[in-house]
A and B are shown apart, each in its own frame.
Chain A
């Protein structure tokens, strides 16, 4: 089975940097995804890590440590539009692309 933990809520200020952590315990691992979901909308893909290390993509970066079962999503130069839920999802090693999602971290960016 898969167990994925992430904080329920976080708050930050416009222009700041925020780090959203995700820890996982899985029977197999074949990649970790971060999705962004604005209220009332569909999740949209942000990042993918399968090897240890940092992946950078503009203002967003994602880090993975497989030995620690740990990932984080780093958001820089926060903007009001970054207020959303951030979902950590793990793909198992069954051979399928099925994702198991965490419960999401609601990020509120204030002026």
Chain B
């Protein structure tokens, strides 16, 4: 059983296009995240949602628009793709948003986005 799944696994597209990445978790968690991992393997938080509500937005360009139709899904839509958007995007989830206990994050397999 897959805990956190993402589609697609690979995405190759032209500059200027609009694309979406989907994420689903079946762990019953309340909180979901999007991370970007660049070519130097630096993993950086982009967004965090708790129970469909945005709680963290780490100064990401507004070309990136997350959407959470329900607490098990967090999708990422990217408009007007740029070369610098090429990276691996990871979705993750945790039990809740509270930073007062263990609250391990579970990561999806990643989506490798290549912008040509």
Contacts and interface: CB of A to CB of B under 8 A. Distances in A.
Interface of A: 30-31, 33, 37, 41-45, 48, 85, 87, 91-101, 103-104, 106
Contacts, number: 64
Contact of B104 (A41, A48, A106): A48
Nearest to A91: B99
A97 B106 CA distance: 12
Contacts of A33: 104
A101 B42 contact: yes
18 contacts: A30-B99, A41-B109, A41-B110, A42-B90, A42-B107, A42-B109, A43-B90, A45-B104, A94-B99, A96-B97, A96-B99, A97-B97, A97-B99, A97-B103, A97-B105, A98-B45, A100-B45, A101-B44
B60 interface: no
Nearest to A43: B107
B116 interface: no
Q: How large is the interface on B (under 10, 10 to 19, 20 to 34, 35 or more residues)?
A: 20 to 34
Contact of B41 (A48, A92, A103): A103
A106 B42 CA distance: 12
B32 to A, nearest CB: 11
Contacts of B56: 96, 98
Interface string B31-44: 10100000011111
B68 interface: no
Q: What are the 3 tightest A-B residue pairs by CB atom distance, in nearest-first order?
A: A42-B107, A101-B43, A97-B103
A67 B45 CA distance: 26
Nearest to B110: A42
